[in-house]
Structure 1
Amino acid sequence: MIGQCFQRISIDVFARLAVVAVVVAPVTALADGHGIALYGDPALPADYKHLPQVNPAAPKGGTFADGQVGSFDSLNPHIQQGNTPWQLRFLAYESLMGRAWDEPFTLYGLLAERVEVNDAQTEITFSLHPDAAFSDGTTVTVEDVIWSWNILGQEGANGRYRSAFAKVVSVEAVGGRQVRFRIADPDRELLMSIGLRPIMKSAQYADDPSAFFRSGVGNIPITTAPYVITEVDPGRSVELSRDPDYWGANLPFRQGTNNIQTLRMEFFGDATAHFEAFKAGELSTMRETNAARWARDYDFPAVQSGEVVLSEVPHQRPSGMTGLVMNTRRPLFDDWRVREAMIQAFNFDYVNGVINAGVQPRITSYFSNSPLGMEPGAASGHVADLLAPISDDLLPDTIQGYTLPSTDGRAGNRRGLRIASRLLEEAGYSVENGVLTGTDGPVSFEIMVPQGSSEVASIVDIYVEALKRLGIDVRVASIDGAQFTDRRNAYDFDMIWYSWGLSLSPGNEQLAYWGPDGVDTPGSRNLMGADDPAIAAMIDAMLSAGSQEEYVATVRALDRVLTAGRYVVPIWHNPISWIAHDADLKYPVDRLPIYGDWIGFQPDIWWIEE
């Protein structure tokens, strides 16, 4: 039996060390209180009791076991080195503010009980909660906040932190419990994102600051989160337990959350072993991403007996982008015509039929499936106004509208391969004795994929056969988790399998995704090496938008520029999340967040009923 939970919600979307000083100057507040929203006011009042998507009466206790394919060699998700368990960043670390996943972009107080923004939108001041404490019982101090900010801005930290660090002019201690961040130019989104940086205990690394940047599993973090790491089997499993002395247990933001006593993250060599472990009752939950398997493989005895329940959870977040990314740092993929040829050669309709029985919707743009996605056809209104001044520098179809190719679903894809051949010829390549050849000789490249995913392997195998028909020599490298991460961060690949998850509130992180700094700086998410001034211009316009309507238009314009850039061979997305889980594992069916099955959903607001 499949439990379908559809909630229809109407969304109105819309490198230097910091200077430390002690000041007492007052701040004129634009936002002054328990929370802050990107546009307008937070939905919840100052005296709110709990978040709307939780069950405040949920019982505490039980064990939740989740499976992941691959391995891990680090417990520090804040640095470039190493491979950490998925979700560890959110389960084991806390920030000054907490994200409300039932609103496009609103933050409520967590380690900070109060937030203030000045009228100029160039300063944000956080007042630390007087009870905020680390898991060892020590108090969270302003010095810990400043140290955390500075360490995350250094070389070796994750690139998503360093881009914001460079924009902050100073960090100042304001009295005993306040910390103020100042930026040079107005940027409300940047100020808000500062509140989401993880806060760590500076004293843990006082004797050897460089230890923070060393990947490994021996250094258990001392954090402020509801869960602490209690057991580690390197490469195989991690156990987290609820901290009985957790400082924030009575916060409204935490009511109805973190209900499960013990969380176990189990690791498997491949997807088959992962699924078999779930069927055998070793795991509590299983996320399915393949429509055909969801319809075909989830009728095993535990489902028939009711011990396992199948739930479908809808969402309203952007599709993001998933597929094969072309590295434009390589001469072959620096030409948009070659990238378009690679897209034309990918027979989506046939691959979707083989893998998903043809039912999965295609990703049509980076923000598709949301109010932020580009609209079909030619640009109009404010979107057209934004693109008009740079129209001469835009790639074909940016303004007119870019549409991905479609086929009749048969294996041949003759039309697509003809178009691909013509584009390659226009780009200076020709077929000689069955081999595609350019000025540097035969065309050859490698597709790098993560080890363990049979679905990705099947997609790439079909694609490779099509590329061979173009005369291209393609190698597939299936890489283990740690090596895959290292090579990805160093941009050491020709084509790579990757997925960007995008939110309903894109902001400064877009610079880390496809901003110019990521072309050469290791560790960013600009895997394609996009170096297009139009992208930077649209991000700047988005960050300085004065209204919700203007903001939406700038994101739609950015979506057009990215999509017409032809950087990725896109596949499909899931507008519904498929989750199989133990029958005693519950979630608030009648109050789903707009982000659906996302960060902050499972296991955060689930509970176990014995």
Structure 2
Amino acid sequence: MAITRRQLLKSSALAAMTPALGATASLPAFTTAAQAQSASEPAWRHALSLFGDVKYPAGFKRFDYVNPEAPKGGVVRMFELGTFDNFNLVIDGLKGSLANGVQMTIETLTARSLDEPSTAYGQLAEAAAYPDDFSYVVYRLRGEAHWHDGKPVTPADVVFSFDALKKNSPMYSAYYQHIVKCEQVGDRDVKFSFDAVGNRELPTIVGEFPVLPKHWWEGTDAQGKQRDIAATTLEIPLGSGPYRIKEFIAGRSVVLERVPDYWGKDLPVSVGQNNLEQIRFEFFRDDTVGREAFKADQLDWFTERSGKQWSTAYDFPAVTEKRVIKEKFPNASSGRMQGYAFNLRRPLFADVRVRRAFNYAYDWEESDRQLSNGEYHRDGSYFDGIPEFMATGVPEGKELQILETLRDKVPAELFTTPYKNPVGGSAEASRANLREAGRLLKEAGFEVRDRKLVDLKGAPVSVEFLCQDQGDERGVLFYKPYLERLGMTVNVRTVDSVQYQNRLRSFDFDITTAGWGQSISPGNEQRDFFGSESADRPGSRNLPGIKNPAVDALINRIIYAKDRDELVASCKALDRVLLWSCYVVPQFAAGFQRAARWDRFSHPEPLPKYGISGFPNLWWWDAAKAAKTGGRS
């Protein structure tokens, strides 16, 4: 039932490997200057922070949380759910199914530190500068940066990549919509101009997009065919990062190999990382087969999505003998909402009372007990896991002032009643909730005839849940009988990952599981999540199709917040409006990542606060441990 990395803004594993979208805030940005400039020009900075001072000064050697003496070598085999048909990340979200691993072959202008919130240091770029009004930012590239073919990374590559992403990627076009121009302004300098002043996070989030080789994409493949940045491809792409794709089997596996002469191996943001010689991503159609492959020592690392399987499926000798380690890694870097999302483009879901009835029909407590052994808590916020932003009680203070300006556009209940999900868990509670669901449906104009729920025209109510795997399906099959007791016809359709992504892009579903990963610094990504302008844009993350002027106004407040207090109040207000609008039936949250591994790897102690497991980027092959596990050396 858990959402995949493609549905979240960032996944736990990927966040530890690469800079993540959305991990920024509408707060004062850059920090100490790397060198002084004239009074009329902004200072060059070695780091960008949205919380004030940075931890690491100019000229620092490495992050504190890495092991600079970590040995290089070893192979890790990792589980991936689904399949793939594309290596072109520019069109991820629009066409094809992107293979995991591609992200580790390319780089961004900056890289995140994992032991301080929302702070970035130079990767491809060595410095950046912007004025006090946040009207533009200039990034200066490192002179030594080069592609795997030896050619230098140039401002032309940056401009080409930015333009290609804005034109072809639904995610990046929304995220960077306020950046109106990208241009070369010096031998190694690139300037990004903004459409207005005061958008405090724009200078920082510019550093997050992947930089691609212009000369490669504008060239021809081995057959002499012109490459197309707007098309899917399984040609191994050229990168500049610490890994490159060595080989693959279409739809089944991708093998990355460490680049021995990687240009950036001695950068402060690279030392002690990228230690494994090979990273193999093995793709499986469902978790069950992947889990059995792990138990048979065909995989080294398995991220467990099912609470019940975590409790019951690991009773085998290697666990007892401590050759396999089970561990939960806390997630302090993000929050999320996951739920059954309604497609508001369908007339059935236009009435909030209908959507609320679906929530009353969902006995989450019993679902958690039966399917997950009580491993979870229920989502009660779009920022679940980040208490600072979670709407609680009734609005007060700055949040109330903000909501008062929107009183005629938001549900009246939110001013007087704390939002709470219905509570089940017993036969009596379930019956009471179903009665309330029936009352809401009747109030919305539906009635039961011959045990079938029908609308005002007498047409029966039928809904289809779109699922991408057996885990999703299992959760829906639990939910289904409750809805059928209300008289609905409920269909469950499970499709492969490519078809699933295609249907999401075209909004071809009634209800599906959706999720939104939130950072500790929300900002421009909220437009793509919930903004009206993204509701009808194919490939956007606004799967429900939310078009709500109050939501739009609150997103604008988040983006242009003048200080942390205003940001917090605006996020709470947005959370409250989204909850009371009932765009999803909330599911569950955990606040940690479950992972089982064959004990062949070691990691620095302690792991960084904002890195979750940090696997595989911070870990290394431990030959002594590996010798004790058997299987392979």
| TM-score, scaled to structure 1 | 0.91
Matched to 1:192, the amino acid is T
| Residue in structure 1 matched with residue 439 of structure 2 by the alignment | 422
What is the deviation of 1:89? 4.9
Q: Which stretch has the larger CA shift, 324-333 or 399-408?
A: 399-408
1:588 matched to 2:620: no
1:349 pairs with 333, 358, 365, which one? Answer: 365
Which residues in structure 2 correspond to 1:298-313 (within 5 Å)?
Answer: 298-313=314-329
Contact 2:25 2:50 in 1 (8 A): no
| Residue in structure 2 matched with residue 131 of structure 1 by the alignment | 144
| Residue in structure 2 matched with residue 447 of structure 1 by the alignment | 465
Partner Cα separation in structure 2 for residue 387 and residue 48 of structure 1:
45
What is the deviation of 1:412? 7.2
Contact 2:72 2:275 in 1 (8 A): yes
Partner Cα separation in structure 1 for residue 265 and residue 278 of structure 2:
16
Per-residue CA distance 1:330-373 (angstroms, 9 max, x = gap): 11112111111111111001101101222311111110221333
1:524 matched to 2:540: yes
Partner Cα separation in structure 2 for residue 27 and residue 603 of structure 1:
45
Contact 1:431 1:437 in 2 (8 A): yes
| Residue in structure 2 matched with residue 562 of structure 1 by the alignment | 578
Contact 1:260 1:608 in 2 (8 A): yes
| Residue in structure 2 matched with residue 5 of structure 1 by the alignment | none
Contact 2:114 2:608 in 1 (8 A): no
Partner Cα separation in structure 1 for residue 347 and residue 274 of structure 2:
49
Matched to 2:49, the amino acid is A
What is the deviation of 1:146? 0.2
| Residue in structure 2 matched with residue 173 of structure 1 by the alignment | 184
| Residue in structure 2 matched with residue 107 of structure 1 by the alignment | 120
| Residue in structure 1 matched with residue 107 of structure 2 by the alignment | 94
1:158 matched to 2:169: yes
| Residue in structure 1 matched with residue 200 of structure 2 by the alignment | 188
| Residue in structure 2 matched with residue 199 of structure 1 by the alignment | 211
Partner Cα separation in structure 1 for residue 95 and residue 428 of structure 2:
41
Partner Cα separation in structure 2 for residue 472 and residue 487 of structure 1:
23
Contact 2:558 2:570 in 1 (8 A): yes
Contact 2:422 2:433 in 1 (8 A): yes
| Residue in structure 1 matched with residue 8 of structure 2 by the alignment | none
Partner Cα separation in structure 1 for residue 501 and residue 463 of structure 2:
19
Per-residue CA distance 1:272-317 (angstroms, 9 max, x = gap): 1100110011111111233332222223111122221122211223
Per-residue CA distance 1:456-492 (angstroms, 9 max, x = gap): 2221001111111111111111010101001101111
Which residues in structure 2 correspond to 1:272-283 (within 5 Å)?
Answer: 272-283=288-299
What is the deviation of 1:446? 0.9
Partner Cα separation in structure 1 for residue 443 and residue 509 of structure 2:
25
| Residue in structure 1 matched with residue 135 of structure 2 by the alignment | 122
Contact 1:310 1:581 in 2 (8 A): yes
Contact 1:318 1:373 in 2 (8 A): no
Partner Cα separation in structure 2 for residue 471 and residue 513 of structure 1:
32
Identity of aligned residues (%): 34
| Residue in structure 2 matched with residue 83 of structure 1 by the alignment | 97
1:237 pairs with 253, 269, 277, which one? Answer: 253
1:51 matched to 2:63: yes
Partner Cα separation in structure 2 for residue 317 and residue 560 of structure 1:
22
Per-residue CA distance 1:438-458 (angstroms, 9 max, x = gap): 13511112110003x3x3222
Contact 1:13 1:552 in 2 (8 A): no
Secondary structure of the equivalent of 1:324? strand
Partner Cα separation in structure 1 for residue 292 and residue 520 of structure 2:
35
| Residue in structure 2 matched with residue 148 of structure 1 by the alignment | 161
What is the deviation of 1:411? 8.6
Partner Cα separation in structure 1 for residue 286 and residue 133 of structure 2:
52
1:604 matched to 2:617: yes
Partner Cα separation in structure 2 for residue 101 and residue 399 of structure 1:
38
Matched to 1:421, the amino acid is G
| TM-score, scaled to structure 2 | 0.88
What is the deviation of 1:404? 0.7
1:467 pairs with 448, 472, 483, which one? Answer: 483
Matched to 1:446, the amino acid is E
Contact 2:25 2:118 in 1 (8 A): no
Secondary structure of the equivalent of 1:593? coil
Partner Cα separation in structure 1 for residue 227 and residue 164 of structure 2:
10
| Residue in structure 2 matched with residue 484 of structure 1 by the alignment | 500
Per-residue CA distance 1:99-145 (angstroms, 9 max, x = gap): 22333211110000101121111111100001111111110000000
| Residue in structure 2 matched with residue 20 of structure 1 by the alignment | none
Q: Which stretch has the larger CA shift, 230-239 or 357-366?
A: 357-366
Contact 1:53 1:593 in 2 (8 A): no
Q: Which stretch has the larger CA shift, 435-444 or 507-516?
A: 435-444
Q: Which stretch has the larger CA shift, 359-368 or 100-109?
A: 100-109
| Residue in structure 2 matched with residue 255 of structure 1 by the alignment | 271
Which residues in structure 2 correspond to 1:365-514 (within 5 Å)?
Answer: 365-400=381-416, 401-410=418-427, 413-440=430-457, 441-451=459-469, 453=470, 455-514=471-530
Contact 1:319 1:574 in 2 (8 A): no
Aligned length: 580
Q: Which stretch has the larger CA shift, 111-120 or 570-579?
A: 570-579
Q: Which stretch has the larger CA shift, 433-442 or 25-34?
A: 25-34
Matched to 1:498, the amino acid is A
Partner Cα separation in structure 1 for residue 424 and residue 48 of structure 2:
47
Partner Cα separation in structure 1 for residue 183 and residue 518 of structure 2:
32
Pair 1:27–1:512, CA change in 2 (3 A): farther
| Residue in structure 1 matched with residue 628 of structure 2 by the alignment | none
Partner Cα separation in structure 1 for residue 589 and residue 509 of structure 2:
24
What is the deviation of 1:78? 2.4
What is the deviation of 1:396? 4.3
Secondary structure of the equivalent of 2:589? coil
Partner Cα separation in structure 2 for residue 159 and residue 529 of structure 1:
14
Partner Cα separation in structure 2 for residue 199 and residue 408 of structure 1:
50
Contact 2:51 2:117 in 1 (8 A): no
1:534 matched to 2:550: yes
Partner Cα separation in structure 2 for residue 334 and residue 70 of structure 1:
33
Partner Cα separation in structure 2 for residue 253 and residue 318 of structure 1:
21
Pair 1:497–1:164, CA change in 2 (3 A): closer
Partner Cα separation in structure 2 for residue 101 and residue 537 of structure 1:
32
Pair 1:30–1:53, CA change in 2 (3 A): farther
Partner Cα separation in structure 1 for residue 573 and residue 178 of structure 2:
24
Contact 1:133 1:224 in 2 (8 A): yes
Matched to 1:57, the amino acid is E
Q: Which stretch has the larger CA shift, 309-318 or 66-75?
A: 309-318
Secondary structure of the equivalent of 1:175? coil
Partner Cα separation in structure 1 for residue 429 and residue 467 of structure 2:
24
Contact 2:379 2:588 in 1 (8 A): yes
Pair 1:438–1:251, CA change in 2 (3 A): same
| Residue in structure 2 matched with residue 61 of structure 1 by the alignment | 73
Pair 1:562–1:89, CA change in 2 (3 A): farther
Q: Which runs of 5+ in 1 are unaligned?
A: 1-11, 15-24
| Residue in structure 2 matched with residue 19 of structure 1 by the alignment | none
